[in-house]
Chain A
């Protein structure tokens, strides 16, 4: 519990900012990969404290935001079936598909439940054998092991009425996708600490070497974030491009072997499309052959559902760090959390929603500079 105050201490924070200020000699652009980090940066105004020239670019690490539109459409189709009880984490409920969202399916009579753990969905399947219970398995390596455990448990207990709609993502291939993109300004990465607490730090050596970028494993509290930024800036100034662990209290270099083993038993790597970015090779986890019978897309025959992104939403550019949310013409006008054009505005971890929530201008008649003062 003390983590909450210990890693928010104003005095220690000022010392870190001073250290960064003393180190910086020229402008640097650093991408924080994870939406949780974006949220904390904007909530605490950490970007406002950095010396001029150190810019934070918000990355695509919000699992809700990057879940492909057609996966959402498939979820809506499955959740609308009368025999299905559809279980999801809460923040997927308002993510717009091509036509509506899960909350609307629920309002129209669909059996859509918010669960807090995939094991709750397994338990629900056990208790309601006459229902088809489907769990929406999305997220990065952070949530994937628990979802793998749910599938493993379902098979071990012979559950026939439990399936998962899988759209798991892998973070390391993002570096390979972002760096060569036209207009990419990213010079260093803050890697997502939670993901690394499962997977360890080893996966980042390849991308760091290939793209000659420093990658610093970073946590989520204000001091953690500034420490990650400080180390990235130091590497950049020194011309180094190494993988560094600035979050050792949560991240052992080899990650969590038990979680990795479970993940690798149930899932295998696969190509995956990221909403707003497009297909990225080997960037997903899908059910391995031994667990195919738990694939909801196959059981409910929805794999044929295809979808195109609505025009006007530039979430893809935001997710790649090429467009800052307030610079999007639809930001806070046509696109707000109540009327989102894309997922980056829906999820609390989405860059657009975080900007709207903490920094929006216009609607309240306040200039951004005034808010940021």
Chain B
């Protein structure tokens, strides 16, 4: 696969001082000229931190790319141009999947990963949920002036490592810098293209009554791991984020059942949100066995004292598969045989009754509605 890393980036519709092609050094922001960008092309630099000049599109930007990003992400074979140009593996037809994801997590580093891992895995997983094998990623940074370059380097290296682990190259990118106080250190936006093999087409609206719901492992670890290192949280856990690329697991699922009806990764909104999305999109009822859903003890305990629902906590390395009943056993076995799905379980099934409604059955036989979280989950008072 050929690819080019793009030092000058693409269009920059959102402004800020830009290294965008159309702007060059001193590019104006969207709200008019930005006085801080009128300075000389090589402003005095504080070694070791991000300065506005790193987003100027000039020598400092090139320096950042050469010294930080290319070593971390890998240097593409060709020259660094405006766009990556990709060869399509066109042997068996298939369709392109295309997705993008902006990442704004705080703190940037947390037990088990960092914003860089999320940026790669999030996009790889979005492709995978469409049944696509990832072909290439783009990666755009918004850096806050004053951010330690070691932090940028650490995130870039995590991106490189995660991309290699997922077997997908980062082929184009962009860098912008915003003034100190206008960003949280750094934001990363990734986009990805992938190829969906012919005959494969999981979609949220294809789920049918009778389908079995499979969950690839215990839920809630990512959200609670991130929460545990937020400012003001004093609890200590040894929970680590579950962030992981799911493309391999999806390949295993598709080998067992190329016609899997739907795949979703329960990120924001968690497991509960995925179930509700599928129920609404496919017009089916979903019934989950409460006790079949694996929630790590520490996740349960933290949620219990903060008043959070583990089913609504974010995951970054889990998937939910909706498969025909006669394929469920095979798919479950294939998931369990893959390292990313070793904890896979069947947790429920879809019904023709009560379209759009998700219910959970307790160990006592009683049922409750499983709802979407109304907004952000807010820790309660007592």
Interface residues of A (CB under 8 A from B): 1, 4, 8, 10, 13-14, 36, 42-46, 48-49, 63-64, 89-94, 114-117, 120, 138-140, 142-143, 194, 222, 337-338, 347-349, 356-360, 364-366, 370-373
Contacts and interface: CB of A to CB of B under 8 A. Distances in A.
Contact of B368 (A42, A114, A140): A42
Contacts of B378: 90-91, 93-94, 114, 348
Contacts of B367: 45, 371-373
Contacts of A372: 366-367
A88 B273 CA distance: 27
A138 B368 contact: no
Contacts of A117: 232, 234
B160 to A, nearest CB: 35
B381 A139 contact: yes
B369 A116 contact: no
Interface in B58-72: none
Contacts of B364: 10, 13-14, 44-45, 49, 222
Contact of A116 (B233, B301, B368): B233
Given A44-B366, A45-B362, A357-B371, A364 B379 contact: no
B382 A139 contact: yes
B307 A348 contact: yes
Contact of A365 (B234, B297, B354): B354
A115 B306 CA distance: 11
Nearest to A357: B371
Given A10-B364, A114-B378, 19 more contacts: A1-B301, A8-B363, A44-B362, A45-B364, A45-B367, A46-B366, A64-B380, A89-B380, A94-B375, A115-B232, A117-B232, A139-B382, A222-B364, A338-B375, A348-B378, A357-B368, A359-B368, A370-B354, A372-B367
A64 B382 CA distance: 10
Nearest to B235: A116
Contacts of A42: 368
A48 B233 CA distance: 37
Interface string B296-308: 0110110010110
Closest 9 pairs between A and B when the two form their complex, measured CB to CB: A45-B366, A90-B378, A358-B368, A364-B357, A337-B374, A90-B379, A89-B381, A366-B354, A10-B363
Contacts, number: 104
Given A42-B368, A365-B356, A370-B354, A1 B297 contact: yes
B380 A348 contact: yes
Interface in B270-307: 297-298, 300-301, 304, 306-307
B359 interface: yes
Interface of B: 232-234, 297-298, 300-301, 304, 306-307, 353-357, 359, 362-364, 366-369, 371, 374-375, 378-382
16 contacts: A1-B298, A1-B301, A36-B382, A64-B380, A89-B381, A91-B378, A94-B375, A116-B233, A143-B382, A358-B368, A360-B369, A364-B354, A365-B354, A365-B357, A372-B366, A373-B367
Contacts of B382: 36, 63, 139-140, 142-143, 194
A196 B234 CA distance: 26
Nearest to B369: A358
Nearest to A360: B369
Nearest to B377: A90
Nearest to B356: A364
Contacts of A366: 354, 357
Nearest to B374: A337
A365 B369 CA distance: 12
A242 to B, nearest CB: 27
Contacts of A364: 354, 356-357, 369
Contacts of B368: 42-45, 357-359, 371
B305 to A, nearest CB: 10
A36 B353 CA distance: 31
A115 B378 CA distance: 10
Contacts of B357: 364-366
Contacts of A46: 366
* Most A Cβ at <10 Å: residue of B307, B363, B364, B382: B382
Contacts of B306: 116
A349 B307 CA distance: 9
Contacts of B304: 4
B51 to A, nearest CB: 27
A247 B195 CA distance: 59
Contacts of B297: 1, 4
A365 B355 contact: yes
A51 to B, nearest CB: 15
Contacts of A358: 368-369
Contact of B366 (A1, A4, A48, A116): A48
B361 to A, nearest CB: 9
A48 B354 CA distance: 20
A162 B6 CA distance: 51
A49 B366 contact: yes
Contacts of A36: 382
A28 to B, nearest CB: 20
A214 B233 CA distance: 40
A209 to B, nearest CB: 28
Nearest to B371: A357
Nearest to A138: B381
